[in-house]
Structure 1
């Protein structure tokens, strides 16, 4: 690029290092890119707004009661037990922790969690794999624990993963626990599922760096972090509302005629 700048008469002479500084300071960087996903579900706004209303303790236009609870649930699959071939060296003055890059594999597990949106409480469990059966065990664990056992309604916000997909999963939950209501997010809307924020904290603070002797140690670390989280964290302050969603979809629609339409014009 430095040679091209000289050839085009932009400047008489320029070094490669100066060119790098120019590019770093430029406001527009066409060599960089970000990926994005545009939702095409025609009911995206309706389904997403329903979840956002639950975050604000509203269901079908009516405020929730004190005996209504909202849970955000999902699973974190493929959590690995990586055993480093050489000892991890602890951090020291002006020196970060050092983790050996080579490791042996000790298997994987799945971490299932239900996050109470308004109580900032997590109920979770580990399983050998994902699927309908281990997710159903999480539902059993939660729904047989107070205050959910005695609740009038317990709303379960879930994505469209195979463990809890479609109306069959909702009917299965309803049959086992009549007070439970499964609410599906639209496709490509996991960013509205608050349990993902918890899973992000799990990844940063518990699983990184991943240096575990076996799967039992992984499970013990996950349960320990869950207990610490429940004892120290406040509910997530989400300010994104259905009105904000409409504004976002309107803005997206200006660029793509196939984008989902907002709830109101």
Structure 2
């Protein structure tokens, strides 16, 4: 409450040091800086009217913070707790909204694959859980418990009855073991896979684009035209030497047994695989390879 007359203040060394940091700190809030300056000027014996004139504050404001510091010290310079606006939604409504977000839409009869905040808000209003609620309010509720029903992670159930035996052979090869015996130095393990639908472009980036790239300037990033000349889609077949961390690859117009055998032939012509005693090839769902040179797992 504003006081009728100025109150004399006496500061301790710690209080004076703290108030000076608040008054002259670069990261101090403006309101906290003003309150600290009022207290420091009052501690120098200046009157409320003079402090108001120097700080360009109302005299009642000066009296208020001067009186609060006299009664409560430094903690009294902080804002008092306010009740704020009454809560519009009850905790039960918030819990029901989160419970609905944790259910699959198909279980509730909604023709959706997954929830979104606007859809959740519309469903809460349709069920009568809330009279009117916005999507931003629902998003804020879900953020409290890190709920993101619009995201999902897919997985595949293993249906192969021989998966354990097949996986054991592959894991043994990765650990340089075959049929319970360690691999020799002249035995190698190669894992092969393919990447399809790769957009082919010319080697030079400037020539590939339909318009030349603009160099960066002052306060401006480099500009690259989004249109480029397409060279068709190619497939990249790669063979990875598991234990030597070496990648050998080639591009093909398409995938299949013939492009894969081209990769095998190219790899097996190179050293050290050409003179190796055994080379194990690990492929996914690949057909058996005829011939005695490459061994498959």
- 1:5-84 matches, cutoff 5 A: 16-81=135-200, 83-84=208-209
Q: What does the per-residue CA deviation read over 1:110-163, in whole Å, with 9 as the maximum and x for residues that have no partner?
A: 222111000011122222222222221211111111111111110000012xxx
**Residues 257 and 287, structure 2, Cα contact 8 Å, conserved in 1:** no
1:166 and 2:287 are equivalent in the alignment: yes
When residues 98 and 19 of structure 1 are mapped into structure 2, their CA distance, relative to the original with a 3 A threshold, is farther
SS of the equivalent of 2:151 reads: coil
C-alpha contact (below 8 Å) 1:85/1:100 kept by paired residues: yes
Q: CA deviation at 1:107?
A: 1.0
Is 1:109 the equivalent of 2:234? yes
In 1, Cα distance between the equivalents of 2:270 and 2:237?
16
- Tell me the C-alpha RMSD between the 2 structures: 3.2
Q: How far apart, CA to CA, are the structure 1 residues paired with 2:225 and 2:170?
A: 43
For 1:139, the equivalent position in structure 2 comes to 264
Structure 2 distance, partners of 1:181, 1:79, is 29
Cα 1:108/1:31, change in 2 over 3 Å: closer
The alignment partner of 1:38 has SS state of: coil
CA contact (8 A) 1:80 1:105 kept: yes
Partners of 1:148 and 1:154 within 8 A in 2: yes
Between the aligned partners of 2:231 and 2:177, the Cα distance in structure 1 is 45
- TM-aligned CA distance change 1:87 to 1:112, over 3 Å: same
* Residues paired across the two proteins, number: 171
Give the superposition deviation at 1:166.
2.7
Is the counterpart of residue 180 in structure 1 residue 294 in structure 2?
yes
What is the rounded CA distance, in whole Å, between the counterparts of 1:37 and 1:143 in structure 2? Answer: 34
SS in 2 for 1:106: coil
Q: Which residue of 1 aligns with 2:117?
A: none
> Shift of the alpha carbon at 1:106?
1.9
Is 1:150 the counterpart of 2:269 in the alignment? no
TM-score norm. by structure 1 comes to 0.54
1:92 is displaced (CA, Å) by 8.1
Q: Which runs of 5+ in 2 are unaligned?
A: 1-119, 202-207
How far residue 13 of structure 1 moved from its aligned partner, in angstroms, is: 9.0
TM-score relative to the length of structure 2: 0.49
How far apart are the structure 1 equivalents of 2:165 and 2:190? Answer: 19
- Take 1:99 and 1:124, find their aligned partners in 2: how far apart are those partners? 30
**Structure 1 Cα separation of the partners of residues 149 and 160 of structure 2:** 30
Over alpha carbons, which structure has the higher Rg?
2
Q: d(CA) in 2 for partners of 1:2 and 1:127?
A: 50
- 1:45/1:111 Cα in 2 relative to 1: closer, same or farther (>3 Å)? same
Runs of at least 5 residues in structure 1 that lack an aligned partner in the other structure: 184-265
More strand by share: 1
State the partner residue of 1:195.
none
